[in-house]
Amino acid sequence: MTRALRPVAVGVLLATGMLLSLARLGVAEEKPSVVEDLLDIMRKSGQITEEQYREMRERVKAEGRQIQAGIDENLRPFLRTKDGEFRLELGGFVQADFHAAPPNARLLTGQELIDNFLVRRARLNMTGQLSKWIAFKIEGDFTTNPSLTDGYLDLNFLPEIGLRAGQYKVPFSLEELTSDLFIDTIERSMVNELVPSRDVGVMLQGQLFNRVVSYAVGVFNGAGINASDNNNEKDIAGRLVLAPFRNMDSVLLKGLQLGINGTYGDEDNRTSAQGRTTARTTNRFRFFAPQATNGNRYRYGGDLVWLLGPASVKAEYERQVDERKKLGPGGSNLDDVTATGWYVTGTFLLTGENSVLNGPVIPRSPFLPFAGKLGPGAWELVARYQELKFRSDDPVDFFDGNINNGVPGGSSSAENGAQAVTGGINWYLNARVRAMVNYTHYWYDNSLGTPYSCSQASCSAATLQRRQDNSWELLTRLQVWF
């Protein structure tokens, strides 16, 4: 077992042991069951004696503490007590991809873009319920570098207020908060570069007015996933979601949801966001390098979801601003690096199932050949338009982020941005298997910063040439989960 994987394994074993110990001891929040209520009624009405009442109560409690094991309707193995106070579930998924790049395309530094097969994600997770109000999740990724993805504890005092602590996703961005399993396209948009992912921190969250309003606000290290913090400064993040028609009968408006979010942090000696295409190949093309930053970092934006039967529309706008204090000549301040991005995604289920937010589409006629079911599954069309742009009133360098070693094209500033259109097909064979195909075409604002700007094995900023200003990529995926 690798050293990187040991914390995941140890955490899983500890949590399992804790759950089993608590289950044996019966440490649970006391809440009368229906049977206990009936016993109370029978005692008060004189149908049973006090001694019979106490004996039956003890039997009910003992039976409730019995441990059950099995596989639930979602095909997830579980271990639980009969009274439902404690529950342990195992889950996981695998995503196998193929990514194809256009011929003669290269990174700006000269490395050729290649076609390759890869295991994009291979994860196992364990979720648990330690009582009615204590829950946890531990998840590890077992690809090239095994690591912890999620590890957190939830204290769910009320639906309106709960506390989460550990490593998990920062409350920001509809697209990022949608599970890797259920995003509409194979990869998230270029706009995702402006969005925080997992971090370590503590957060208050809850739902109000029967889930019409959801909120989350937290404090985080700001260092990112599996990274130690190296300063006393912390990031503040918050998100508010409104679904005003969720509980109404309006077919047209019931699936409408709006979200806003923001983060703030003092980020000394860090780097700005970068611009990359969506393919996660080993040599993913980067059209804008991260710039050195020093000072405050602001992120803010909003998103929209509209589910309408078999159709859906999702849109998101995000903006990130990074200060560059004392990074100019003689320690002067440089203008901020500002990155803005947005996308619009539309989907339509040809086979008539309803669109789902952050969950699986369940085919009406699944394809399960070993069970004798040879239905077509569910077929979904996907289209997305996206933009990501970077700018500053002072020099930036899309080649390597170093404004002191030669800006591409010999100018004083080298900004860049990209637009892209994606078309795709999703095939849900059944409730646990999905196949996907995506084709994306890109256009670049600066023709010196494209996959064709470098035509040799090694390039510098000074040797980039103005060439074809567009490119493409083809992605496929087969994923299975339980």
Q: Tell me: pLDDT of 354 over 90.
A: yes
Band of pLDDT at residue 19, cut at 50, 70 and 90: very low
* Beta-carbon count within 10 A of 255 CB: 22
pLDDT beyond 60 at 22: no
Give 6's pLDDT tier (boundaries 50, 70, 90). Answer: low
Could you tell me the residue ranges of all domains in the chain? 6-26+65-481
Model pLDDT, residue 324: 98
Question: How many whole angstroms separate alpha carbon 97 and alpha carbon 473?
Answer: 13
The DSSP letter of residue 332 is P
DSSP designation for 46: T
Q: Considering only CA atoms, which of 140, 313, 180, 294 is closest in space to residue 231?
A: 294
Beta carbons of 413 and 407 less than 8 angstroms apart: yes
Average pLDDT rounded to a whole number, residues 382-388: 98
| Residues 177-203: tens digit of each pLDDT | 999 999 999 999 999 999 999 999 999
Pairwise CA distance, residues 30 & 32, whole Å = 7
> Is residue 2 scored above 70 in pLDDT?
no
* Angstrom distance (rounded) from CA 76 to CA 48: 42
**Percent of all residues in the chain with a pLDDT value above 70, rounded to a whole number:** 92
Poorest-confidence range of 20-29, 150-159, 315-324?
20-29
* Tens digit of each residue's pLDDT (9 = 90 or more) over 131-145: 889 999 999 999 988
Q: Is 2 exposed, middle or buried (0-12, 13-18, 19+ CB in 10 A)?
A: exposed
Tell me: pLDDT of 14 over 80.
Answer: no
> What is d(CA 471, CA 57) in angstroms, rounded to the nearest whole number?
71
Residues whose CB is less than 8 angstroms from the CB of residue 473 and which lie 6 or more positions away in sequence, other chains included = 99, 100, 101, 102, 277, 278, 279, 439, 440, 442
Mention every residue, 6+ apart, whose C-beta is less than 8 A from residue 439: 422, 423, 424, 472, 473, 474, 475
Q: Go through the chain and tell me how many residues it has.
A: 482
Return the higher-pLDDT residue of 268 and 277. Answer: 277
Average pLDDT over residues 115-128: 96
Q: What is the mean pLDDT of residues 218-230?
A: 91
Using CA atoms, how far apart are residues 282 and 144, in angstroms rounded to an integer?
A: 11
* Nearest residue to 292 via CA among 340, 254, 324, 250: 324
pLDDT attached to residue 78 = 81
Nearest CA-CA partner of 257 in 199, 308, 300: 308
pLDDT at 65: 60
**CATH 3.40.50.720 at 6-26+65-481, yes or no:** no
If DSSP codes are grouped into helix, strand and coil, which group holds residue 427? strand
pTM: 0.85
If you average pLDDT over residues 217-236, what whole number do you get? 91
Phi–psi pair at 271, nearest 5 degrees: -130, 160
Neighbouring residues of 37: CB distance < 8 A, sequence distance ≥ 6: none
Q: Which residues contact 436 (CB under 8 A, 6 or more apart)?
A: 185, 186, 424, 425, 426, 427, 475, 476, 477, 478, 479
CA distances from 381 to 200, 305, 310 (A): 37, 17, 10
Confidence of residue 55 (pLDDT cuts 50, 70, 90): confident
Measuring CA to CA, how many Å separate 478 from each of 73, 120, 432? 22, 10, 11
Q: At what angle do helices 50-64 and 34-44 cross, to 10 degrees?
A: 180
d(CA 389, CA 337): 11
Q: How confident is the model at residue 27 (pLDDT cuts 50, 70, 90)?
A: very low
- How confident is the model over 100-117, as a mean pLDDT? 95
| DSSP code string of 340-390 | EEEEEEEEEETT-PPP-SSS----SS-EEGGGTEE---EEEEEEEEEEEEE
Bridge partners (DSSP) listed for residue 435: 427, 478
Please, what is the average pLDDT of the chain? 90
Query: If you average pLDDT over residues 361-377, what whole number do you get?
Result: 93
Residues 6 or more apart whose Cβ sits within 8 Å of residue 126: 12, 15, 16, 88, 89, 90, 91, 137, 138, 139
Sign of CA dihedral 32, 36, 38, 41: negative
Mean of pLDDT values over 458-481: 96
352 Cβ neighbours under 8 A, 6+ residues apart = 310, 364
- Mean pLDDT across 147-159: 96
Strand ranges, E, within 114-254: 116-129, 134-141, 147-158, 161-169, 198-208, 213-220, 235-242
Q: Which region among 36-45, 174-183, 245-254, 321-330 has the lowest average model confidence (pLDDT)? A: 36-45
Please check the confidence at residue 409 and state whether its pLDDT lies above 80. yes
Mean pLDDT of 102-127: 95
